Structure 1
Amino acid sequence: MTADRRRWAALIVLCTGMLMIVLDLTVTNVALSSIQADLGFSDAGLAWVVNAYMIAFGGLLLLAGRLGDLLGRRRVFLTGLAVFTVASLGCGLAQSQAVLVAARFVQGVGGAMTSAVILGMIVTMFPEPRELARAIGAFAFVASAGGAVGLLAGGVLTQTINWHWIFFINIPFGAVTAALARRLVDHEDGIGLGRGADLAGALTITASLMIGVYAIVGPAASDGWTDPATLGLAAACLVLLALFLARELTAAQPLVPLGILRSRNVTGANLIQIASVAGMFGIFFMRSLYLKKVLGYGAMDIGFAFLPTTVLMGALSVRFTEPLVSRYGARSVMVTGLALITAGLVWFTQAPVDGTYLVHVLPVMVLLGIGAGLAFPALMTLAMSGVTAENAGLASGLVNTTAQVGAALGLAVLATLSASRSLDLSASGASVPAALTGGYHLAFWVAAALVGLSIVIALVVLETPAPAEQVVTGRELVTEPA
C-alpha cells in the first residue's frame, strides 16, 4: 500500500472510531424506554443512563486531547478504544441499575480519550490544505450525521433483539478498529510529560467541566436554571475555571498554553461551535419528539425520516465542501451553511399538529442537511487553523469540548423551555398534541436564534484570508495576511 493510500485508509479507521462514539449516545436514547422497563429505573434515575456518560465525556475531553500531545495521540486513541469497548461489554451485561450507570461513566472516559485526539491526528496526517479540507469534511460528516444513523440502528436493534445489543455491537467494531489503527496509523511519541505535566491544572479544569456538565444535564434540566442547586454548581464551575486560568498563566509548563486562544479563528470557531451545536443538537431531539409524540412515528420511521439530512451532509462534506472552501474561503462557506440551518429551523416553527412529512418535515431535513454539510467541515477547518503539530491534540480536544458543552446546554435549555411552554398551553385548555407542538415551536425559535448568533460571531470575530493565500509552513498550517 502506498503512503498516500495508507493515509486515507487511516482516516477511514479514525472516522470509524468517531462513529462508534457518536452512535452510542443516540442508540442509547432510542433504547431508554426498554432499559427502564427491564431494569426498573424511575424517570429521574433513567436520566443517569445518559448523564453519567455525558459528565465523563464532557469533563475529560480537554485533558484527553492534551494527553494526546504529551504521550502520543495514537497511544491515547487506542487506550480510549480499549476502555470504551470493555465498558460497552459491561453495559451489555448489566443486570442492575448501578452497574449500568457505572459502566456508562467508564464508557464516557473511553469515548473522551478516543474522540479528543482524532482531529489532531488528521491535521498532522494531511498537512496540505486541500487534502486537509477533504479529510476534515469526512470527519465532520461522521461526527454530525452519526446521530441520525444511530436513530435507525437503535430502533432496529432494540425492536428485533433487545437493548443489550446496542452495547454488544460496539465490541466487534472496537476490536476491528483497534487492530486496523495499530496497522495503519503511524506511531508518534508525543512531546513528553515534561512539556505539560500540569497536575493542578488538569484537576481544576476536569472538575470544572464535569461540574458544569452535571449542572446542565442534572439540576438545570429537572429543576430549572434558578434552582439553588443549579446556581451553586454553576458558581463552583466558574470558581474552578478561574483557578484553572490563574494556574495556566503562572505555570512553567501549563497543561493548556493559553496562547492558542490568541488566534481569533480558534477562539471564534469554538464560540460558534457552542452556539450552533446548542441549536442543532437540542433541536435534533425536539424534532424526534415531534415526529414521535405528535405525528406518531416509530423509532425506525424516525430514523428513515432523518435519512435525507444524513445523505446530503455526507455528499457535501465528503465531496463538495472542500472545493467550495478552497474557492470561497472557510468563513463564507460556513456562514452560508449556518444561514441555511437557520432557515430550516424557522421553517420548522410552522409545523402544525397535523403536519405531513413532504410539506413540513422533508424541506427542513433538506435545508439542515445542506447547511450542516457546508457549515461544520468549514468550522472545523477554522478551529484547527494556525495550530502547531505540538498543540493539535489540545485544539482537537478543545473543539470537541465546546461541541459537548453546546450539546448539553442546548438540550437542557430547549427541553426546559419546551416543557414549560407545553404545560402553560395545556393549563390554558389546549389539547395534548397542540400543547406539545406549541412547546416544540418555542424550542425551534430559540434554536434558530442560537444559530443566528453563531453567524454574528462568525462575521465579527473570524479572520479568513483569501483561499489562495493558505500555506503550509513546516508542520504548522498558517495563513498569510490578505
Structure 2
Amino acid sequence: MSQTSQAAPVAVSSRRWWTLTVVALAQLMVVLDSTVVNIALPAAQADLQFSNGDRQWIVTAYSLAFGSLLLLGGRVSDLIGRKRTFIIGLIGFAAASALGGAADSFGMLVFARALQGAFGALLAPTALAVLTTTFTIPKERSRAFGIFGAIAGAGGAIGLLLGGFLTERFDWRWNLYINVFIAVIAVIGAVVFVVNAKREGPRPKLDVPGTILVSGALFSLVYGFSNAETDGWDSPLTWGFLAAAVVLLVAFVLWQRKAAHPLLPLAIILDRNRGAAYSSVLIAGAGMFGIFLFVTYYLQASLGYSPIQTGLSFLPMILMLVLAAQLGNNIFLPRFGPKVLVPIGMALGAIGMIYLTHLNTTSTYAADILPPLMILGFGMGTIMPASIQTATLGVDRRFAGVASAMVNTSQQVGGSIGTALLNTLAASAATGYVASHLPASAAVAADAAVASYATAYWWGAGFFAFGGILAVLLFRRKPVAAAPGTPAASGTAVSANAKAPASASDDLPEPVVAH
C-alpha cells in the first residue's frame, strides 16, 4: 500500500444502506413537490380566490428561490457539515410546507412556496453530497446511484399520481402537508443513520462575491424564462433578465478564476466527463418537461381523464425508469461507460417523443399512449442515473456539496428552458392551427390543442437528439479514476467485478468502516 493511501482513509459507513433510504426520502420530497402542487393548483385557486394571472406565482416563487440558491446551498453543506445542513433543510422544508398548507391568502401561499424553494436548495444538493461521500465502493456506489437517479427521474410522475389522489380524496392542502410526514421520518433517520464526516484541514471560507454573482445570475435566468412563458418573448422584461443573467454569469466565471476561496472551482465543471454529465442533465430536463406537462394536459383536457387516472397512466413509465436505472448503473454503465449509455438514453427519449406526435382526440391508452411512455421511462432511466453518478465521480470531498448542487442547478435550468420554449411554441402552434381552420368551433379548438402538443413533442425530440450528439462528442471513451482523497471511482471507471488498475488503486485511500 502506498503512503498516499495510508494518509487519508475514506470512511465506509456500516449504516450506508439506511442512509440511502433517508436520502431517497428527502430527494423524493423535493422532486415530487414540483408536480404534486401543480395538480392542486385549480382547487387552491378556487379556495383562495386568486386570478389566473396570479396562479403562475405559486410555481414561480418556488422555482426562483430553488434555482437561484442551489449553489449556495451546496456550498453551505461543505462549510458547516452535511448532516447538520441535511437536517436543517428537512426541518425548514417541512415547516414551509405546513405554512403553505395552512395558508388563508394568496400572499401567504406564495411566501410559503418561496420558503420551500429556499430550503429545497439547501436540501437537494446536500442529499446528493451525502450519497456521494457515503458510497465509496464501486459496485455499491452504482447500485445506490441507480436508486437515487430513478427517484430523480420518476419523482415528477409520482407527484402527479400522489397529487391526483390527495386532491380528489382529501383536500389540496394535503399536497403540502404530506411533506411534513415525509420530513419527520427523514429527520429521525438522518439523526440515527447519517454519519457526520470529520473535517480535514482548516475551515474554508464562503465566497461572498461569488455567491452574490451566481445567485443573481440564476435568479435572472429562471425569472427570464418564467417571464417568457407568461408575457412572451417580445417582453422587454424577458430579455432584460436574460441579458443580466449572461453578464452576471460572465462576471462570476472571471471572479472564480482569481478568488482565494472560490464558491465553484472551475476545474469541477471544466472536467470533460463532468461537463458532459451536467449538460446531459440539463438537456434531459428540458426535454422531459414535455412529457409531464403536455401529456397531462392531453390526458385530462383531450381524453377527459381524472387526476387519479392521469397519475396512474404514468405508472408504467415510472416502472420502466426504475428498471432502466438499475440495469444501467449495475450492469451496463460499469461495462460501457456514459459515452455509450447516455446517448442510447437520449435516442430512446427522442423516439418516445416522436411516437407521441401521432396522438389525436381518438387515441387509446393501450395502443397509443402506453408504448411511448414506457420508451421514455426507459430512456430517462438510462440518462439520469448515469449522468448523476458521473457528475459527482472523483470530486474532492471538500467540494462534494457544490458539485452536487450543479446537478440540481442543471436540472432546474433545463426545466425552466423547457417550460418557456415548449409552452411558447405550443401556444403559437395552437393559434396558427385555429387561424388556418376557420370558422372556429369546439372541435377545431380540441384539434388545435392536440396539434400544439405535437409541436412540443417534436421540439422535445429535438432536445433529446441534440443531447445524444453532445454526449457522444463530450464524454471520454475511457473513464478517469478518482483523485486521491476523493470518493472512490465508481463503476464508470472499472467493472464492478474487476480489479482496478494498479495505478488507480494505489492512488485511492483504503476504505475503513465507520460505526
TM-score grouping bracket, smaller chain normalisation: over 0.9
For the structure 1 residues 471 and 202, does the alpha-carbon distance in structure 2 shift closer, same or farther, using more than 3 Å as the test? closer
In the TM superposition, 1:18-33 aligns within 5 A as 18-33=27-42
Between the aligned partners of 1:412 and 1:104, the Cα distance in structure 2 is 20
SS for the counterpart of 2:360 is coil
Give CA-to-partner distance per residue, 1:168-215, whole Å, 9 cap, x none.
Answer: 111121111111111100013556885241111111111111121111
Unaligned runs of 5+ in 2: 1-11, 494-500, 505-515
The structure with the largest alpha-carbon Rg is: 2
Give CA-to-partner distance per residue, 1:84-113, whole Å, 9 cap, x none.
Answer: 000011001100000000010000011111
Between the aligned partners of 1:190 and 1:365, the Cα distance in structure 2 is 45
Between the aligned partners of 2:427 and 2:200, the Cα distance in structure 1 is 49
Between the aligned partners of 2:201 and 2:482, the Cα distance in structure 1 is 28
Q: 1:449 is matched by which residue type in structure 2?
A: G
Between the aligned partners of 2:203 and 2:16, the Cα distance in structure 1 is 30
Deviation of 1:315 (Å): 2.3
Confirm whether residue 222 of structure 1 aligns to residue 230 of structure 2. Answer: yes
Deviation of 1:116 (Å): 1.1
Out of 409, 424, 439, the residue aligned to residue 401 of structure 1 is 409
Q: Contact 2:289 / 2:418 at 8 angstroms: preserved in 1?
A: yes
Q: 1:339 is matched by which residue type in structure 2?
A: A
2:300 paired residue number: 292
Between the aligned partners of 1:156 and 1:192, the Cα distance in structure 2 is 50
Out of 36, 50, 54, the residue aligned to residue 63 of structure 2 is 54
Give CA-to-partner distance per residue, 1:19-71, whole Å, 9 cap, x none.
Answer: 11112111100011001111111111010001000000111111111111122
SS for the counterpart of 2:15 is helix
Deviation of 1:143 (Å): 1.1
Aligned length: 477
Q: Contact 1:30 / 1:155 at 8 angstroms: preserved in 2?
A: yes
Deviation of 1:249 (Å): 1.4
For the structure 1 residues 192 and 34, does the alpha-carbon distance in structure 2 shift closer, same or farther, using more than 3 Å as the test? farther
Q: Contact 1:249 / 1:258 at 8 angstroms: preserved in 2?
A: yes
1:349 paired residue number: 357
SS for the counterpart of 1:94 is coil
Between the aligned partners of 2:308 and 2:208, the Cα distance in structure 1 is 46
Deviation of 1:319 (Å): 5.1
Between the aligned partners of 1:16 and 1:319, the Cα distance in structure 2 is 22
1:380 paired residue number: 388
Q: 2:462 is matched by which residue type in structure 1?
A: A
Between the aligned partners of 1:187 and 1:385, the Cα distance in structure 2 is 20
Between the aligned partners of 2:468 and 2:30, the Cα distance in structure 1 is 28
SS for the counterpart of 1:169 is helix
User: Bigger shift: 47-56 or 232-241?
Assistant: 232-241
User: Bigger shift: 395-404 or 128-137?
Assistant: 128-137
1:171 paired residue number: 180
Between the aligned partners of 1:186 and 1:59, the Cα distance in structure 2 is 28
Confirm whether residue 238 of structure 1 aligns to residue 246 of structure 2. Answer: yes
User: Bigger shift: 273-282 or 79-88?
Assistant: 273-282
1:340 paired residue number: 348
Out of 285, 309, 319, the residue aligned to residue 301 of structure 1 is 309
In the TM superposition, 1:65-80 aligns within 5 A as 65-80=74-89
Out of 271, 275, 280, the residue aligned to residue 279 of structure 2 is 271
Q: Contact 1:71 / 1:193 at 8 angstroms: preserved in 2?
A: no
In the TM superposition, 1:444-459 aligns within 5 A as 444-459=457-472
Q: 1:130 is matched by which residue type in structure 2?
A: K
Tell me the C-alpha RMSD between the 2 structures.
1.9
Between the aligned partners of 1:4 and 1:120, the Cα distance in structure 2 is 14
Q: Contact 1:73 / 1:190 at 8 angstroms: preserved in 2?
A: no
Q: 1:76 is matched by which residue type in structure 2?
A: T
Q: Contact 1:70 / 1:195 at 8 angstroms: preserved in 2?
A: yes
Q: 2:191 is matched by which residue type in structure 1?
A: R
Out of 369, 372, 377, the residue aligned to residue 377 of structure 2 is 369
Between the aligned partners of 1:264 and 1:347, the Cα distance in structure 2 is 33
1:437 paired residue number: 450
Give CA-to-partner distance per residue, 1:234-271, whole Å, 9 cap, x none.
Answer: 11111211221121112111111112123101111111
Q: Contact 1:263 / 1:386 at 8 angstroms: preserved in 2?
A: no
2:99 paired residue number: 90
Q: Contact 1:387 / 1:477 at 8 angstroms: preserved in 2?
A: no
2:23 paired residue number: 14
Between the aligned partners of 1:395 and 1:464, the Cα distance in structure 2 is 22
Give CA-to-partner distance per residue, 1:346-367, whole Å, 9 cap, x none.
Answer: 1111112211111110110110
Between the aligned partners of 2:482 and 2:212, the Cα distance in structure 1 is 37
1:154 paired residue number: 163
Unaligned runs of 5+ in 1: none
Q: 1:362 is matched by which residue type in structure 2?
A: L
Q: 2:470 is matched by which residue type in structure 1?
A: I
1:201 paired residue number: 210
For the structure 1 residues 189 and 56, does the alpha-carbon distance in structure 2 shift closer, same or farther, using more than 3 Å as the test? farther
Give CA-to-partner distance per residue, 1:126-160, whole Å, 9 cap, x none.
Answer: 11222111111100111111111111111111111
Give CA-to-partner distance per residue, 1:367-424, whole Å, 9 cap, x none.
Answer: 0111112221111122112312122111100011011000111011101110111111
2:3 paired residue number: none
Q: Aligned residues: percent identity? A: 37
Give the structure, 1 or 2, with the largest relative contact order (CA under 8 Å, sep 6 or more).
2
User: Bigger shift: 297-306 or 66-75?
Assistant: 66-75
SS for the counterpart of 1:31 is helix
Deviation of 1:162 (Å): 0.9
SS for the counterpart of 1:41 is coil
1:143 paired residue number: 152
Q: 1:378 is matched by which residue type in structure 2?
A: A
Q: 1:475 is matched by which residue type in structure 2?
A: T
Between the aligned partners of 1:441 and 1:271, the Cα distance in structure 2 is 25
Q: 2:473 is matched by which residue type in structure 1?
A: V
TM-score by length of 1: 0.95
Q: Contact 2:286 / 2:417 at 8 angstroms: preserved in 1?
A: yes
2:325 paired residue number: 317
SS for the counterpart of 1:195 is coil
Between the aligned partners of 2:201 and 2:299, the Cα distance in structure 1 is 50
Higher helix proportion (structure 1 or 2): 1
